[in-house]
Amino acid sequence: MPTSLAAYNEAFMAPLTFDAGFNGFLVSNEDLACKLPTGIPELAELHDRIAGQAIRKFESRTGTTHRARQAIARRLPDGTPLRSAIADELKMGDHTFQRRLTSEGISFTELVDDTRRELAQHHLADPRVTIPEIAYLLGYADQSTFFRATHRWFGESPGEYRTRVFDGLAREIEAARQN
């Protein structure tokens, strides 16, 4: 049990029991039936579509590729990871790792680039993350290399891509409100 319950009481506004035989919380049917006061119905369809895309992307990934993508993402802030280092992290030899990626239809270079592109899309959609921070998180030594990569991936600079994403989101919200 924590020494102070103040933060828990403020967050849950309900009695709490620690070291109990059940880990969870109970919500009444009445509360479940209530609409969220902060909910925006126009965004529900957009969120459903984004979640569906993420699930389809996750389901389409196979074992080695998916695990390697996670390992690459963790190592990117230190620069471009070496294939042998990722193979070691996945507890397999370099040649075995390369053979498995080939059988899954992707090269290590393509996997690193795809991982960077997906992370760039994610980070550029978050206005709290600056473009220099994104370049660092993706393992680029300088911003100019990141700018060249975004031009290759998206046909525009990181700032232009970010503006287009936000403008598109605003249009989708407005269209959903009108329907």
Give pLDDT tens digits along the chain (179 positions): 777 878 888 887 777 777 777 777 778 888 888 887 777 777 777 788 888 877 766 655 558 998 999 999 999 999 999 999 999 999 999 999 999 999 888 999 999 999 999 999 999 988 889 999 999 999 998 999 999 999 999 999 999 999 988 887 667 767 666 76
Between CA 64 and CA 69, with CA 65 as vertex, the angle to 5 degrees is 115
Listed residue (114, 116, 144) closest to 132, CA to CA = 144
The token pair at 132 is 């220099």
Whole-model pTM: value is: 0.63
Using the Cα atoms of residue 89, residue 68, residue 49 and residue 162 in order, give the sign of their dihedral: positive
Which residue type occupies 112?
Answer: V
The token pair at 1 is 């049990």
